[in-house]
Chains A and B, each alone.
Chain A
Amino acid sequence: MSATGIGAPVRRKEDLRFITGKGQYTDDVVRPGETRAVFVRSPHARARIKSIDVSAAMSMPGVIAVLTGAELANDKIGNLICGWMIHSKDGSPMKMAPHPALATGTVNHVGDAVAVVVAETKGQARDAADQVKVDYEPLPAVADPAKAQEHGAQQIHEVAPNNTIYQWHLGDAKATDAAFASAKHVTRLDIVNNRLVPNAIEPRAALAEYDAGADHLTLWNTSQNPHVARLVIAAFVGMAPEHKLRVIAPDVGGGFGSKIFIYPEEVICLWAARKVGRPVKWTAERSESFLTDAHGRDHVTHAELALDGEGKILALRVKTIANLGAYMSTFSSSIPTYLYGTLLSGQYNIPQIYCEVDAVYTNTVPVDAYRGAGRPEATFVVERLVEVAAREMGIDPPELRKRNFIKSFPHQTPVIMNYDAGDYQASLRKAMELADVKGFGRRKREAARHGKLRGIGYSTYIEACGIAPSQAVGSLGAGVGLWESAEVRVNPTGTVEVLTGSHAHGQGHETTFAQLVSERLGIPFENVSIVHGDTDKVQFGMGTYGSRSGAVGMSAIVKALDKIEAKAKKVAAHMMEAAENDIEFKDGKFTVAGTDKSAAWGDVALNAYIAHKFSGQELEPGLKETSFYDPTNFTFPAGCHICEVEVDADTGNTEIVNWTAVDDFGTVINPMIVEGQVHGGIAQGVGQALLEGAVYDKDGQLVSGSFMDYSMPRAHNLPSFTIGLTETKSPSNPLGIKGCGEAGAIAAPAAVINAITDAIGSEQVLMPATASTVWAALERANVARQAAE
């Protein structure tokens, strides 16, 4: 392993600019004549717009335009769409309601945009926005997903009776019921997977500029996938043809999924820029982020696990209501279905699984992918059920897991997925060693002496990453293919630029992708740059989410590097007057087999461009190759997280005292970056388990709409993590990578709740398990115990 190649903990190239404040985010981009946009947003969860009077706002200083949904409709700007078709069990297509970028007729959630003010300065735009008079007729709202389908609930969209978007299912209902009928033991749980606000550090932003001379639009935005944004805005919204629209996602400060989607504000900035003939910029305020970024999770689930007398799992039955909010966001339909139901087999050999998911509209912000996207919800269901089943049956929880682990690969689950490689016993064993599970009893007794209830919780999670084989996802309803592209440009001096369709917004691609190129070509790490995030530079790409950039994005680079090597060998053969088949390439040097002739990488690159040593009829000059890589399967990162907590019996406060994570991510390119991903993922998962919760009141007002009420995880909420790796390489991509971006967030919530419930001896703990919640659970358990005595 070289100091900068695959497996080296190379420091991140991008951090110099990030930590010295030299990053260039959308809001940092300034265009000549730039104006500022401020949105007028609904204060009501649901209301009819009786009228909008913009005259007072128009007369305010600095105001250039005040635009509403009526004008948007006049200009025939299309609606935002959801790009993944889900069919209900009766075969009917999902009920996608119109989602105009500016509301007309009715508003459907607090924060729904009804008008935009464009002014010389942000202050002027904001002052004028206060003067836009919207006459609302408030209507009753429904915010609780569990109540959305009830008879008599408010009908939010005409197209969706009972507010039901689809009633999807997966698996064999009859066979599952039969397995339950034969079970010796059934564990039942009611689960709420709490709703989360993504809260990337950089708020969403958009800057649009129209070049009237070229009839061309440019959009700078905070996107995880600028090409998909361009495709949707061109082909569905109809803003401009693709070749007349350039989308640039420069430095992006965190996404966690929330910046995958196409949002109203970027559409409106483009439209307004063309209308006013000047660049239009919008940057969300934090309170707007709370009210308009797509939220995550929000499931209400009843789940049942059937086991035989020895703790062998026979079947799993799951019924979930998934809240998709007021409109269907770009990929929202796929999250509680093909990214959720398909992972319900966990790490276990479960003969029968049947899963039903009803997706519902509510008068809340749209819900879509958020770090893990469906897989944390699935893991929480499976890992809570397994843990509780073990406790109910008096079997040690890791032992029950071991009895049911999948041990041979490939393994076909009853819910579509075909696991290609893994060793679940190895990660469990290693985690139990690192966590000193043997010493837990002693630690628990020691804690009890200090009035603390100590508990231990396991989460042996699995996820499907490396999203995804295009034909497979196409057959499941995806509107796009999920391959990735790469272009490798070798300059005449031998330095290399890699253009990738992946997009970095914190992941460190500029470092890890350069490590791959450095290793493969044997050239210095510093001589490689990674270019991404601009539709004018990178021809097309599918972007970054679902832990796909290593497994899919880097595989595309590998393919392009294969072509580069093949071409460079041809050049080298001409230079050294040898047969092409005799050329060997190693450590940045071309040699002729059986001779001492050699040519350095830089010489070959130069010769490819000066083209003096070969005829243009035989070989094209230049050294540049492109590749599209379509994966053959998902990848299946898996592992074991063990959480130990101490609960203060007097206050219900939970302190996480130990955390052990052993993950199998396949090949690791940069262990330091992987550790960072694991740390961040666990922090987010702990946030969900202990602290975070987007709470709507019954009228659809977001009660936790600021950091004063929405509790983000902080350093003091977390212990130092003990981290280990096991490795089974993914056979589904050339590097053997599985992906690491979401694992922590997927594994952590179940580990925390399993630990707390172990500590307090009650399973009735909802997330976030705040001190108040845990104390209430302790009280209920005390009351129940006293009643029993």
Chain B
Amino acid sequence: MYNFTFHRPTTVRQAAGLLAKNPDAKLLAGGHSLIPVMKQRLAQPSALIDLAKVEGLHGVELKGRSVVVGAMTTHSDVANSPIMQQALPGLAAVPAAIGDPQVRHMGTIGGSIANNDPNADYPAACLGLGATIITNKRKIAADDFFTGMFSTALEDGEIITKVSFPIAKKAAYEKFKHPASGFALVGVFVSKRGPEIRVAVTGAGANGVFRVKSFEEALKRRFAAKSLEGMTIPATGMNSDIHASAEYRAHLVGVLARRAVAKATA
């Protein structure tokens, strides 16, 4: 690890000010992806701005027909939130499946989606529920937020403060864990909210999280696993590596989508 300056602001405004003054700075929001990379000397931020003590970024609350999660809420707190478990159990299951207990007690939702790791779980949940990402500057629809592998619509100096999830009557996540890293080799989040059906896939795509329109169309006719019977997606555009071929990932998208729908309708 190279040397860096450590800042611990207590308000979003202070954090934004520090970010403006330190163009090479990185926000620290749990750090379970950032710190390992720094330890390997693959990242060299001049400063870290730790959001852990910033007020108003923690907690899960019910607001109208949405569940709003503070950006610095840990995976463990989301998974164990009674509000979340009641309103959106399918979403509570997502952070419960992330990493190990250490990661779940340090990692945060804001950190996860800002990083947009192509194998991370939360991007599928955000896209699969049509969440809104709220920053210190604006509100961004999930459909516009995830712009590619490790890339988001966030601008310089922009800090995620909250993520708002509309409550869907039916929602579920199915994850096939990468055997080594525990990330999603493939993860599929499905939801049905009124007429709106979403199927979002993480882990599989070479360009990060994506929706499967053909599956969504099929599910619009009837939201049941059977509607997806025999359906698959093309292997082109899927990741291929030593752990899984593109064909296998494409195949898993179909399998997991069916299982997620079955779980959501159980």
Nearest CB on A from B182, distance (A): 9
In the complex, are the beta carbons of A770 and B40 less than 8 A apart? no
Distance between Cα atoms of A710 and B255 in the complex (Å): 25
Q: Which of A652, A691, A695, A712 contacts B242, CB < 8 Å?
A: A695
In the complex, are the beta carbons of A708 and B242 less than 8 A apart? no
In the complex, are the beta carbons of B242 and A704 less than 8 A apart? yes
Of the listed stretches B149-157, B199-207, B243-251, name the one at the interface; the rest are far from the partner chain.
B243-251
Distance between Cα atoms of A274 and B36 in the complex (Å): 35
Nearest CB on B from A778, distance (A): 10
In the complex, are the beta carbons of B248 and A772 less than 8 A apart? yes
In the complex, are the beta carbons of A775 and B248 less than 8 A apart? yes
Distance between Cα atoms of A709 and B176 in the complex (Å): 15
Interface centre among B176, B180, B245, B248 (most CB of A within 10 A): B180
Distance between Cα atoms of A133 and B106 in the complex (Å): 39
Which A residue sits closest to B180, measured CB to CB?
A: A711
A776 at the interface (CB under 8 A from B): yes
In the complex, are the beta carbons of A707 and B180 less than 8 A apart? yes
Chain A 101-140 interface residues, beta-carbon cutoff 8 Å to B: 126-127, 130
Interface centre among B40, B179, B242, B243 (most CB of A within 10 A): B179
In the complex, are the beta carbons of B248 and A776 less than 8 A apart? yes
Distance between Cα atoms of A650 and B255 in the complex (Å): 7
Nearest CB on B from A785, distance (A): 18
Contacts of B102 on A, CB cut-off 8 Å?
Answer: none
Contacts of A462 on B, CB cut-off 8 Å?
Answer: none
Contacts of A695 on B, CB cut-off 8 Å?
Answer: 242
Nearest CB on A from B201, distance (A): 15
Q: Mark B87-114, 1 if CB is under 8 A from A, else 0.
A: 0000000000000000000000000000
In the complex, are the beta carbons of B180 and A710 less than 8 A apart? yes
B12 at the interface (CB under 8 A from A): no
Contacts of A772 on B, CB cut-off 8 Å?
Answer: 243-245, 248
Q: Mark B176-209, 1 if CB is under 8 A from A, else 0.
A: 1001110000000000000000000000000000
B252 at the interface (CB under 8 A from A): yes
In the complex, are the beta carbons of B245 and A776 less than 8 A apart? yes
In the complex, are the beta carbons of B181 and A771 less than 8 A apart? no
Contacts of B248 on A, CB cut-off 8 Å?
Answer: 652, 771-772, 775-776
In the complex, are the beta carbons of A771 and B176 less than 8 A apart? yes
A651 at the interface (CB under 8 A from B): yes
Nearest CB on A from B183, distance (A): 8
Chain A 584-619 interface residues, beta-carbon cutoff 8 Å to B: none
Nearest CB on A from B181, distance (A): 4
Chain A 682-728 interface residues, beta-carbon cutoff 8 Å to B: 690-691, 693, 695, 703-704, 707-712
Q: Mark B225-266, 1 if CB is under 8 A from A, else 0.
A: 000000000000000001111011001100100000000000
Which B residue sits closest to A704, measured CB to CB?
A: B242
Which B residue sits closest to A775, measured CB to CB?
A: B248
A287 at the interface (CB under 8 A from B): yes
In the complex, are the beta carbons of A651 and B179 less than 8 A apart? no
Chain A 667-695 interface residues, beta-carbon cutoff 8 Å to B: 690-691, 693, 695
Contacts of A130 on B, CB cut-off 8 Å?
Answer: 41
Interface centre among A653, A708, A710 (most CB of B within 10 A): A708
With contacts defined as CB atoms under 8 Å apart, how many contacts are there between chain A and chain B in the complex? 46
Contacts of B176 on A, CB cut-off 8 Å?
Answer: 651, 653, 771
In the complex, are the beta carbons of A770 and B243 less than 8 A apart? yes
Nearest CB on A from B96, distance (A): 15
Chain A 302-326 interface residues, beta-carbon cutoff 8 Å to B: none
Distance between Cα atoms of A711 and B247 in the complex (Å): 21
Q: Which of A287, A704, A710, A771 contacts B40, CB < 8 Å?
A: A287
Nearest CB on A from B48, distance (A): 17
Given the known interface contacts A287-B40, A771-B176, A772-B248, the answer about A709 and B242 at a Cβ–Cβ threshold of 8 Å is: yes
Nearest CB on B from A262, distance (A): 28
Distance between Cα atoms of A614 and B16 in the complex (Å): 89
Nearest CB on B from A57, distance (A): 15
Q: Mark B25-66, 1 if CB is under 8 A from A, else 0.
A: 000000000000000110000000000000000000000000
Distance between Cα atoms of A517 and B243 in the complex (Å): 50
Distance between Cα atoms of A365 and B242 in the complex (Å): 19
Distance between Cα atoms of A775 and B232 in the complex (Å): 15
Distance between Cα atoms of A346 and B192 in the complex (Å): 59
Q: Which of A127, A652, A653, A708 contacts B180, CB < 8 Å?
A: A708
Contacts of A652 on B, CB cut-off 8 Å?
Answer: 248
Chain B 71-88 interface residues, beta-carbon cutoff 8 Å to A: none
Distance between Cα atoms of A772 and B176 in the complex (Å): 11
In the complex, are the beta carbons of B179 and A703 less than 8 A apart? no
Which B residue sits closest to A130, measured CB to CB?
A: B41
In the complex, are the beta carbons of B40 and A651 less than 8 A apart? no
Contacts of B251 on A, CB cut-off 8 Å?
Answer: 775
Nearest CB on B from A39, distance (A): 14
Distance between Cα atoms of A204 and B176 in the complex (Å): 34
In the complex, are the beta carbons of B179 and A770 less than 8 A apart? yes
Distance between Cα atoms of A711 and B255 in the complex (Å): 23
Contacts of A691 on B, CB cut-off 8 Å?
Answer: 179-180
In the complex, are the beta carbons of A709 and B243 less than 8 A apart? yes
Given the known interface contacts A776-B245, A776-B248, the answer about A651 and B255 at a Cβ–Cβ threshold of 8 Å is: yes
Distance between Cα atoms of A693 and B181 in the complex (Å): 14
Given the known interface contacts A772-B243, A772-B245, the answer about A651 and B252 at a Cβ–Cβ threshold of 8 Å is: yes
Nearest CB on A from B117, distance (A): 11
Contacts of B244 on A, CB cut-off 8 Å?
Answer: 770-772
Distance between Cα atoms of A710 and B243 in the complex (Å): 10
Distance between Cα atoms of A710 and B180 in the complex (Å): 6
Nearest CB on A from B126, distance (A): 23
Show 7 residue pairs from A and B whose CB-CB distance is below 8 angstroms, ordered by the A residue: A690-B179, A704-B180, A708-B180, A709-B243, A711-B179, A711-B180, A775-B248
Kindly list the 5 A-B residue pairs having the minimum CB-CB distance in the complex, ordered from nearest.
A711-B180, A772-B244, A711-B179, A708-B181, A772-B248
* A704-B180, A776-B245 given; 19 more Cβ-contact pairs under 8 Å: A126-B41, A287-B40, A650-B255, A651-B255, A652-B248, A695-B242, A707-B181, A708-B181, A709-B243, A711-B179, A711-B180, A770-B244, A771-B176, A771-B248, A772-B244, A772-B245, A772-B248, A775-B251, A776-B247
Residues of A within 8 A of B (CB): 126-127, 130, 287, 650-653, 690-691, 693, 695, 703-704, 707-712, 770-772, 775-776
